[in-house]
Amino acid sequence: MLKTGISSRRLGSRRARKTSLRRRVFDLLLATAILGALLVVVARFDGVAERSISGKARIADGDSLSLDGERIRLRGIDAPELAQRCEKAGSDYACGTKAREALVALVSGRPVTCIGWERDRYDRLLAACSAGGVELNRQLVLSGWAVAYGDFAAEEASAREAGRGLWSGTFERPQGWRKQHGGMAEDEHLLVGRILNWLRQALRI
Q: Does residue 70 have an active-site annotation?
A: no
What one-character-per-residue DSSP string does 131-158 give?
ETTEEHHHHHHHTTSSEESSS-HHHHHH
Close Cβ partners of 80 (under 8 Å, ≥ 6 residues apart): 62, 86, 95, 96, 98, 99, 145, 166, 171, 174, 177
Catalytic (active site) residue 200 = no
Q: Is 75 a catalytic residue?
A: no
Residue type, 151: D
* Catalytic-role residue among 75, 100, 124, 178: 124
Q: How many CB atoms lie within 10 A of CB 205?
A: 6
Q: How far apart are CA 156 and CA 151, in angstroms?
A: 9
Q: How far apart are CA 192 and CA 129, in angstroms?
A: 22
**Active-site annotation holder among 75, 81, 155, 172:** 81
Q: How far is 94 from 97, CA to CA, in rounded Å?
A: 5
Catalytic sites, residue numbers: 73, 81, 124
